[in-house]
Structure 1
């Protein structure tokens, strides 16, 4: 391993490890840690007052307030205090029923018991992920914002534009598709990597966050031809159970329009030639996905973006469909892109809408346009 490569890997690891929380979320976490005993005591007191209220005047204090108390507690308490409160609520409810409170019915007791169990399972899963109480929700927002920040494109020279649209499956908060962008050589060279991580939902989103930080550290730190190999080595080192990803890497000289594109298991890029109006498929398929084999060899294609040309990158969520093959999906995407981009005013969101792909998979479109 060369010294330059070693420094790049260390930079990638540092990038993937740095996920800073905002001051507000950090303060909220400290407050929550110090106040768990106080919060638990207050909520237990409320449970006792609700018990008295239900016994004295169920018209004003209905038994359903127990459920409201549990919902509030799941956002404030960790697993163990939440279990204590849930057990207390069940004891109070069953005690009221044994005492003869007419407002407490067997059906309500069954629903309340199942609700407490379900809340406990939910809280246990959140704690396993390190999401405890209210600060956990804030941390998820910070992670999502961090992932979006890695895909921000630096300012480009006049005449160049990058437009991207990334949507998660079923409109979830996290996507397995992400983009990393950067410039080098004093802002005269643009690099973009579009990645599709295996899986979907929060699990894929967490892996995307780590990989986006790592790939952001590698981008610009290595020669173009070494990037995908280094990314593959990093992914293999993680030893994830579901640990592969496809990626496409584009380097554009913003002075001349010359570009190089290479991919690892990713669908081929497309180029719209403004002069002829022709859509060209840049077939870089051949290399396996990242995280599959140790010796990854990716062939690169070169081309040029002339004025009005558009380079289109995308993930397989746009071209995969049940009952159809990838070639049909690619043809459908090429047709939609030709309709949207030919007038010279199209956007990534318009291309995605034109394909009309289902929302059961993550989808991403990136357009590199030269005016």
Structure 2
């Protein structure tokens, strides 16, 4: 027996509502909802100008244009700008007369739309909206700072780092990286100065901080600078060199090893005599020579002793030799750290160096 099918009934308003609810349940992407909202706002502004031409100004279109520039990605932004200009031309049809003020307003809106399109084309290399791109940069900056966070140390040890970038921006070519909690009785830390300064060196510093953090954690202290040098050589950057100072400290005995790669030397305060000693070591700049050897300086931090690692921005200026800068650093350290080491790294960085160069300093004190 052949089953009889019920004839299909025509679709009505209830079917359309059910289809709309089904789409809503499945959900549109946030970008699509935002785009729809901006389109609706643009249409509403155009309608308001047509109804109340003497009350609603043409410059009201700058609000959705600004929001689109901040929130829409480069795939949707150009089409929305074109749509907005169409709405603008539609709104002009409701003007009783085209005055000089109206012409100027339209010219300004077209100029803003042109600037927005140029910005969109530049963002197309990244593929994200302006606000999202900024949040990604902030996240990267936070990650580079996290690489230099000091792990929890045993009682009797105080370690502090301070960083200031050229121009006061959050991105710098100087950074501090630590080995984290690889071993409870050892601290490995490196202070690195990437070629360039400020935002120009910030991207290379972001990349190197992650790579150097992994090398510092995975390798023996004697192998770190050699591996970092080989890593930089493989990058083949036009301006791809860096200097570094590496400290490996035994937190039980206070014994330490310091190695430098084209970097200013570490300085050691002996509490018994109150004298600062420069720990000179030799080593080529990272990223210039394939086979490089890095000398080691060994010592021991006793009770009350301190050690300073720093970048050349702390001791070198266009008008001052690095040797004189180290002497000035030692003088300021003797004055600012006398009897109070807490917060000493920040005090030294604020008091010394050139504000036109990145500055970084690490203070290690055995209480």
Please report the TM-score for the alignment, with normalisation by the length of structure 2: 0.82
Q: In the aligned structure 2, how far is the partner of 1:311 from the partner of 1:294?
A: 30
Equivalent of 1:161, from 146, 158, 161? 158
Structure 1 residue 298 corresponds to structure 2 residue 294? yes
TM alignment of 1:190-205, pairs within 5 A: 190-202=187-199, 204-205=201-202
3-state SS of 1:369 partner: strand
Of structures 1 and 2, the larger Rg is shown by 2
Report the alpha carbon displacement of residue 201 of structure 1 after superposing the two structures with TM: 4.1
Match of residue 307, structure 1, among 303, 306, 315 = 303
Following the alignment from structure 1 to structure 2, what is the Cα–Cα distance between the partners of residues 309 and 322?
Answer: 32
Match of 1:335 in 2: 331
Tell me the alpha carbon deviations over residues 13-69 of structure 1, each in whole angstroms, 9 at most, x when there is no partner: xxxxxxxxxxxxxxxxxxx99343443333233223223334544665333332232
- Answer yes or no: is the 8 Å Cα contact 2:182–2:217 preserved in 1: no
Distance 1:111 1:143, change over 3 A: same
- Distance in 1 (alpha carbons) for counterparts of 2:138 and 2:171: 10
Contact 2:194 2:204 in 1 (8 A): yes
The separation in 2 between residues aligned to 1:121 and 1:299, in whole angstroms, is 52
| Equivalences for residues 112-191 of structure 1 within 5 A | 112-182=109-179, 186-191=183-188
Give the C-alpha shift of residue 269 in structure 1: 1.5
Find the aligned partners of 2:200 and 2:54 in 1 and give their Cα distance: 45
Q: Which residue of 2 aligns with 1:325?
A: 321
Q: Which runs of 5+ in 1 are unaligned?
A: 1-31
Quote how far apart the aligned CAs of 1:104 are: 4.8
Conserved 8 A contact 2:265-2:279: yes
1:59-74 to 2 correspondences below 5 Å = 61-74=56-69
Matched residues, number: 339
Match of 2:18 in 1: none
The offset of 1:107, in angstroms, is 3.8
CA contact (8 A) 1:180 1:193 kept: yes
Asked whether the 8 Å contact 1:248–1:261 carries over to 2, the reply is yes
Distance 2:169 2:175 in 1: 14
Q: Which moved more, 1:151-160 or 1:83-92?
A: 83-92
Q: Does 1:44 align with 2:39?
A: yes
- Distance in structure 1 (CA, Å) of the matches to 2:132 and 2:184: 38
**Counterpart in 2 of 1:262?**
259
Instruction: Return the offset for 1:160.
Output: 0.7
Alignment of 1:205-220 (within 5 A): 205-220=202-217
Structure 1 length-normalised TM: 0.81
Shift of 1:244: 1.6
Query: Aligned Cα RMSD in Å?
Result: 2.8
* Structure 2: gaps spanning 5 or more residues: 1-26
Residues 130, 140 of structure 1: alpha-carbon distance in 2 compared, 3 angstrom cutoff: farther
| Secondary structure of the corresponding residue to residue 79 of structure 1 | coil
**Counterparts of 2:28 and 2:358 in 1: how far apart (Å)?**
36
The 1:331/1:122 distance shift into structure 2, 3 A limit, reads farther
Task: Give the drift of 1:162.
Answer: 0.6
Q: Aligned equivalents of 1:176 and 1:50: distance in 2?
A: 47
Residue 66 (structure 2) pairs with residue 89 (structure 1) = no
Tell me by how many angstroms 1:186 deviates: 4.0
The higher relative CO (CA closer than 8 Å, separation ≥ 6) is in: 1
**Cα shift at 1:212:** 1.7
CA distance in 2, matches of 1:306, 1:138: 45
Distance of 1:167 and 1:141 partners within structure 2? 17
SS for the counterpart of 1:80 is coil
Report Cα offsets for 1:76-95 as digits up to 9, x if no partner. Answer: 21113111222333444466
Kept after mapping to 1: 8 A contact 2:74/2:128: no
Q: Which moved more, 1:344-353 or 1:190-199?
A: 344-353
